[in-house]
Each structure stands twice: as structure tokens, then as C-alpha cells.
Amino acid sequence: MRKIIAGNWKMNGKLENLLEIKKISNEFARSKIEIIICPPFTLLSAASELAKNVYIGAQNLHPENEGAFTGEISANMLVDLGITHSIIGHSERRNKHNETNEIVARKVKISLEKKLQTIICIGETELQRKENSTLEILEQQLLDSLANNTNFEKLIVAYEPIWAIGTGLIPEVSEISKIHDFIRVRLVELYGSNASNIPLLYGGSVNGSNAPEIFNVNNVNGALVGGASLSFEKFAPIIRAIENTSP
């Protein structure tokens, strides 16, 4: 199974921050880990020119290839730049930009069609967790967000409990384990045995201290990292932690 560490810079980063990508590239030049950094659109071109052994991904894309969509960026344009990965359906896009599962499904479809490695995010709110409906919510998000897609060769699923994003809170390791096992089983039941190769990432307040125990969980194949991906000093220990887990 691939091991993946993806960094989501969100709306952070200026030209000077490209240095962090350079440092990660230099430090992990021979790493076997699939390291992905998703800076804002403004840095994609420069980042992909300087990154070596680090993939550069987009945080979003439009579900159409081209046309009268002011301010939007298409999968075609990303591929043209040499971008290899995308993040689709992050909870901030779902909640702050009104992205429904239907929109997410259209984005996933075009992203996969354009052969981008596509990280689809799913996760429950604090209230849904308290109501014990996490598994139900995740299953519905998977079903609806992947609707009309049949080829999952380039799909990556990120489980990101919304209450854990940027809060410093993480679920108990046993909870992460139970949920990742559930996602794996449902993916295989829904989409067949090939789904056993879909990497499953955990996301939400991952840092250098909690990463080792998270990466030891069965069916956790990596992490999607927000805040701690912005600097070499915080991101590098997370990559080292997964390098140190057994194959």
C-alpha cells in the first residue's frame, strides 16, 4: 500500500513560502513516501517547477473544463501546469462555499477523468458525532460524493472529522481505527476488491507528536495535514513518522 502525506496550505502562502517546499524536497529527495503539497493556486506554477520528489496538488477545481466561470480553475488547466493531485470536498469547501455532495461528485468525476490523483474528503461534525451518526454520515458522503464514478484507480479517501480540523483535538486512536476499518469495508462492498487499494488518509490536527500512533493504526495509509504542513519544521517530523512505520 502507498504511504501518503499531503499538506493543505489553504489560503496561506506567498512567494517567500516556496522555500518550505524546497526544504522538504531537499530533505526527502530519496523518500519512498508520496509527499504532496497543495499550496494556493497562485503558487502552483512556481511550486511545481521547484519541487523534486514532492508532488504539487490543487485544493479545488471546477467541475467543467472551460467556459464562462469567472474566477474558476479547471482540471484541464491544472494538468497543463503539470499538477498531479487534487483535493476535492474539503469540509471548508462544503461548509463555507456550499459544496453539496452532488457538486463534489462532479468535481471528483472530472478530476479522475483528467487522471489527477484525487483526494476526496469526508467527515462528521461534532453534533453528528455526539448523535452517534458518524458511520451513517460517512457512508452517505462516500456514496453521494462518488456517484457516477466507476474508475477509482486514482482515488484517495481522507477521513477528516470536522471537529478535529484546526482544533488540536483528535479522536481516540481506537476510534480512528474503527472508522478507517469501516471505510475500507464499505468501499470494498460498494466498489469491489480493487477498492482495497484505495489509500485512506486521516486528517485533523496531525502533528509530529501524535503522528506515530496514528500511523500505526491499521488502514491508516497516511495523513492530510493542514496547519502543520506550512513549515518545514512542523511538516518534516510527520513525514519521518510515517517513514518509520512498518511497511
CB of 50 to ligand PEP, least distance (A): 23
Orientation of helix 101-113 relative to helix 134-145, angle to 10° = 50
Q: Could you say which residues in the range 121-180 bind ligand PEP, by CB under 6 A?
A: 160, 165-166
Say whether 117 sits in a helix, a strand or coil. strand
How would you classify the pairing of strands 155-159 and 200-203? parallel
Q: Does 238 bind ligand PEP (CB under 6 A)?
A: no
Taking CB under 6 A as the criterion, the residue among 94, 110, 226, 235 binding ligand PEP is: 226
Which range touches ligand PEP (CB under 6 A), out of 24-32, 38-46, 124-132, 197-205?
197-205
> Do the beta carbons of residue 114 and residue 67 sit within 8 Å?
no
Q: Give the residue with the Cβ less far from ligand PEP, 63 or 204.
A: 204
Residue 39's closest CA among 15, 57, 54?
Answer: 57
Task: Please give the grid coordinates belonging to residue 49.
Answer: 517547477
Residue 83's closest CA among 50, 44, 42?
Answer: 44
Q: Taking the CA of residue 150 as centre, how many other CA atoms within 13 Å lie in the half-sphere pointing to its CB?
A: 0
- How many Cβ atoms from other residues are within 10 Å of residue 178's Cβ? 16
Taking CB under 6 A as the criterion, the residue among 225, 238, 239, 242 binding ligand PEP is: 225
**Among 20, 90, 124, 180, the one annotated catalytic:** 90
90 is catalytic: yes
The rounded Cα 142 to chain-centroid distance in angstroms is 14
160 is catalytic: yes
Taking CB under 6 A as the criterion, the residue among 117, 177, 205, 219 binding ligand PEP is: 205
**Among 34, 92, 124, 160, the one annotated catalytic:** 160
Which range touches ligand PEP (CB under 6 A), out of 76-84, 135-143, 176-184, 222-230?
222-230
Which range touches ligand PEP (CB under 6 A), out of 11-19, 173-181, 208-216, 218-226?
218-226
Q: Which residues are catalytic?
A: 90, 160
